[in-house]
Chain A
């Protein structure tokens, strides 16, 4: 392995026959020349000793010397190539300039999906891709971000190279919510049959098995005299069973979009937050068209990002033609849409029984589902108490 000082300041190699190598080593030792002998007959010497070594060996020992190698040798050979020197200088300047910018901001420690929100808050406070490191005051940005953010309780910014690593701790609400103020009853939100009733505060006005209508009192906030009288904010859970229905209608006639080939009308390069417009076509796009924007970023191993992306906008014109669904298509579409509606409807309810049927109508196809559900049927109904003054 070549020594670092030889590599930087230049070195050269000498080859001597194996029979003469010992004599050469002895000459170098006696004359105080520092060099290295290896592989039996190869000598590696610093470039500064070239003249001295060649003068010691000339006429005494046969040898072959290489040109000067290492960084010094390379620079020396290319010193007249001005374009190369200029390119090295420009590269050095680019390296220094690009190293002074923030290339990426990586958020750690927050919930998935909140990264963009935190990035936006950091950008507002002065830290974003393309910012100059010299202008970033980490303490100020941390303090400002904590002031404007509602969900972050602690924030720390670390710099590793050209990447800013932001560690975040989300706010966690401990303890129970504050008790409600005022007085209220719990009333029924729909006609149903009571299945379960759990009272946390107040007096139950119904029992399981009773049938109630929308607006009927379920839990009263008025306390009876036997229990000391007074008023409270009624609290509890009442589960009721009720019938409901979901329906979808699919029209037979629909407008089909027929798209033409996509055409590029704008292309721009984004570097460190700066938009560089490469290409833009002006003119009317037409009424019937879709505009698609596609952003491409280079793939880096390890899932890393670089602050360079290409944005291309395409325009796709279309014409609308009237078409008719077949019966199979109508039923299939209606089933899909009904399934989505039922899923959305039953997010906060338990479905006990479901009956589905469909009918063809003049304009299309209608699919119904009759549901029997169990769900909470309470809502607060506040009331005020007026005291009489005598």
Chain B
């Protein structure tokens, strides 16, 4: 029915608008055998990855994780997990 189709499109657009406005960013940290395991949700992109450094771009900031023997696991829905000997986590407001 034509009226019902218009309503579904409108609902979808509303949901997308709300989703972009609400940040899904959060971090959880746990101890692990190899050091720490850091889960980060709300990651937009990965700028850099190496054994000593992981650089993540979030919606309004940047996160830099430094350490040794870092492993990166990529999950669906903008979630990444970093394992290894994490020495520092730097949070910066300005995005490059």
Q: Are A40 and B76 in contact (CB under 8 A)?
A: no
B24 on the interface (CB 8 Å rule)?
A: no
**Contacts A29-B43, A29-B80 hold; do A21 and B75 have CB atoms under 8 A apart?**
no
Q: Are A25 and B74 in contact (CB under 8 A)?
A: yes
| B50 to A, closest residue via Cβ | A40
Report the tally of A-B residue pairs with Cβ distances under 8 A: 48
> Would you list which residues of chain A between 225 and 240 have a CB under 8 Å from chain B?
none
Question: How far, in angstroms, from A155 to B2 measured CA to CA in the complex?
Answer: 81
Instruction: Annotate A8-23 by CB proximity to B: 1 below 8 A, 0 otherwise.
Output: 0000000000100110
* Shortest beta-carbon distance from B16 to chain A in Å: 16
- Number of chain A interface residues as a range: 10 to 19
Contacts of A26 in B (CB 8 A): 45-47
| A45 to B, closest residue via Cβ | B74
A28 on the interface (CB 8 Å rule)?
A: yes
Question: How far, in angstroms, from A37 to B45 measured CA to CA in the complex?
Answer: 15
> Would you list which residues of chain B between 27 and 82 have a CB under 8 Å from chain A?
43, 45-51, 55, 71-78, 80
Q: Are A32 and B50 in contact (CB under 8 A)?
A: no
* Shortest beta-carbon distance from B36 to chain A in Å: 16
| B53 to A, closest residue via Cβ | A22
**Contacts A29-B45, A29-B80, A30-B45 hold; do A18 and B50 have CB atoms under 8 A apart?**
yes
Q: Which of B73, B74, B76 has the most CB of A within 10 A?
A: B74
Question: How far, in angstroms, from A29 to B73 measured CA to CA in the complex?
Answer: 10
Contacts of A22 in B (CB 8 A): 46-50, 55
Q: Are A36 and B71 in contact (CB under 8 A)?
A: yes
Q: Are B76 and A32 in contact (CB under 8 A)?
A: yes
**Contacts A18-B50, A22-B49 hold; do A36 and B76 have CB atoms under 8 A apart?**
no
Q: Are B74 and A28 in contact (CB under 8 A)?
A: yes
A300 on the interface (CB 8 Å rule)?
A: no
* Shortest beta-carbon distance from A258 to chain B in Å: 72
* Shortest beta-carbon distance from A371 to chain B in Å: 78
| A40 to B, closest residue via Cβ | B51
Q: Which of A25, A32, A34, A40 has the most CB of B within 10 A?
A: A25
Contacts of A28 in B (CB 8 A): 74
Q: Are A21 and B74 in contact (CB under 8 A)?
A: no
Q: Are B74 and A34 in contact (CB under 8 A)?
A: yes
**Contacts A29-B78, A29-B80, A40-B51 hold; do A35 and B73 have CB atoms under 8 A apart?**
yes
27 A–B contacts from the bound complex (CB under 8 Å): A18-B50, A22-B46, A22-B48, A22-B49, A22-B55, A25-B46, A25-B72, A25-B74, A26-B47, A29-B43, A29-B45, A29-B46, A29-B74, A30-B45, A33-B74, A34-B73, A34-B75, A35-B73, A36-B71, A36-B72, A36-B73, A36-B74, A37-B71, A37-B72, A37-B73, A38-B72, A39-B51
Residues of B at the A interface (CB closer than 8 Å) are 43, 45-51, 55, 71-78, 80
Closest A-B pairs by Cβ, 5 of them: A32-B76, A25-B46, A37-B72, A38-B71, A36-B73
